[in-house]
């Protein structure tokens, strides 16, 4: 395996799929001459030309709509929206058209469309550029929503999304682009809808997705080293479809759970995971499921306030200890 950044893994996966299939093309703002706001598409215009790497006007509704039409006619467009916040300008196209076309036309058409878009806070971009609103899209049947946390999954899930015949929201986190990890070489796909147990444990389950997975791993390893607490970490990877069985199997084993996310607490992914555990592992629980999430405020621009509003490793550590204390752990 090669060690790559999350950014490079995305770039390499795009390039490999474009080389393998001429129906794959890229479309979005500043992805060609400027090589993308986060340089994921660096060098691809020079290699593949403007027919397959298409710069667009600043009109999310327009170029997402064009990509949906192209997908319905047999191409495999990969749209880049500069941030998930700007996807709101195209939400009618995404939710009312891309997600609904197969059902509304009785299966006569498919929409093999990928929408790549970063989100998340911590970069001092202000409240309207720092949101985790992937749950809005995960709420919509007809869409698939994936949230890779590692460079390996960035590569594998992007390849799987491009090959999928249904529209996929591919949500990246701005805080992950420079992270590094081992990535399989050659063709590689990660199954959409399958969570991963990325650290085995016996005392408590920590369920997370996207950037929060790295925090969960950091906390789990530290607790094991310092206190002998064995935390199992489950990376959801996919929000729709959601792998409920992997989550419940882990909780049935450990009998305790904490859910960590960068989203707001109310009506979030964590709430759905808690409901899943209540339905699928309630009789095994030795303590209430605890949740760690962002403060319910528009994220401040001020760095100290932004940091205070975002969930931290310390917040997660306290939630884990509370869940253990409530179940008389080692008493």
Residue 114 sits in the same domain as residue 144: yes
The two structure tokens encoding residue 109? 């058409």
Q: Residue 329: what pLDDT?
A: 74
CA distances for 234 relative to 88, 103, 111, 185, 200, angstroms: 29, 32, 30, 24, 9
Per-residue b or e along 118-138, where b marks 16 or more CB atoms closer than 10 Å to that residue's CB: bbbbbeebeeebbbbbbbbbb
Mean per-residue pLDDT over the chain, rounded: 97
Q: Residue 308: what pLDDT?
A: 96
Which of the residues 60, 134, 261, 306 is marked catalytic? Answer: 60
Residue 331: pLDDT over 70: no
Out of 154, 183, 212, a domain closes at 183
Q: Give per-residue pLDDT as tens, 57-108.
A: 999 999 999 999 999 999 999 999 999 999 999 999 999 999 999 999 999 9
Determine the Cα–Cα distance for residues 118 and 84; give it in Å rounded to an integer.
6
Out of 159, 183, 207, a domain closes at 183
Residue 247 sits in the same domain as residue 318: yes
Determine the Cα–Cα distance for residues 323 and 308; give it in Å rounded to an integer.
23
Residue 79 sits in the same domain as residue 111: yes
Out of 183, 214, 231, a domain closes at 183
Residue listed under structure tokens 């495999």: 76
Q: Give per-residue pLDDT as tens, 39-61.
A: 999 999 999 999 999 999 999 99
60 included as an active-site residue: yes
Domain count, the chain: 2
Which of the residues 17, 80, 97, 129 is marked catalytic? Answer: 129
Q: Give per-residue pLDDT as tens, 178-212.
A: 999 999 999 999 999 999 999 999 999 999 999 99
The CATH number given to whatever domain includes residue 100 is 3.40.50.970
Confidence of residue 1 (pLDDT cuts 50, 70, 90): confident
Residue 121 sits in the same domain as residue 245: no
In a domain, 167, yes or no: yes
Residue 158 sits in the same domain as residue 222: no
Residue 156 lies in domain = 2-183
């Amino acid at each position: 395996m090669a060690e790559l950044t999350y950014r490079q893994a995305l770039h390499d996966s795009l390039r490999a799929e474009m080389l393998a299939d001429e129906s794959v093309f890229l479309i979005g703002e500043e992805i060609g001459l400027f090589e993308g706001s986060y340089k994921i598409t660096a060098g691809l215009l020079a290699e593949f030309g403007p027919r397959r790497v298409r710069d667009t006007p600043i009109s999310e509704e327009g170029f997402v709509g064009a990509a949906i039409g192209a997908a319905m006619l047999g191409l495999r467009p990969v749209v880049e929206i500069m941030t998930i916040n700007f996807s709101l300008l195209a939400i009618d196209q995404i939710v009312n058209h891309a997600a609904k076309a197969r059902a509304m036309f009785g299966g006569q058409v498919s929409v093999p469309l990928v929408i790549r878009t970063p989100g998340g806070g911590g970069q001092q971009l202000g409240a309207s550029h720092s949101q985790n609103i992937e749950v809005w899209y995960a709420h919509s049947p007809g869409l698939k929503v994936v949230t890779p946390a590692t460079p390996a999954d960035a590569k594998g899930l992007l390849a799987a999304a491009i090959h999928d015949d249904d529209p996929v929201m591919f949500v990246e986190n701005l805080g992950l682009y420079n992270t590094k990890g081992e990535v399989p070489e050659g063709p590689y796909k990660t199954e959409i809808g399958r969570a991963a147990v990325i650290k085995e444990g016996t005392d408590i389950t920590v369920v997370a997705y996207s950037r929060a997975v790295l925090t969960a791993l950091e906390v789990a390893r530290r607790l094991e080293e310092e206190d002998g607490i064995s935390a199992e970490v489950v990376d959801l990877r996919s929000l729709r479809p959601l792998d409920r069985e992997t989550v419940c199997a882990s909780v049935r084993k450990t009998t305790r759970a904490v859910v960590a996310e960068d989203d707001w607490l109310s009506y979030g992914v964590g709430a759905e995971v808690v409901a899943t555990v209540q339905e699928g592992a309630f009789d095994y629980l030795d303590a209430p499921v605890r949740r760690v999430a962002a403060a319910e405020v528009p994220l401040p621009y001020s760095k100290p306030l932004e940091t205070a509003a975002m969930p931290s490793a310390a917040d997660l550590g306290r939630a884990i200890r509370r869940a253990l204390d409530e179940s008389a752990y080692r008493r």
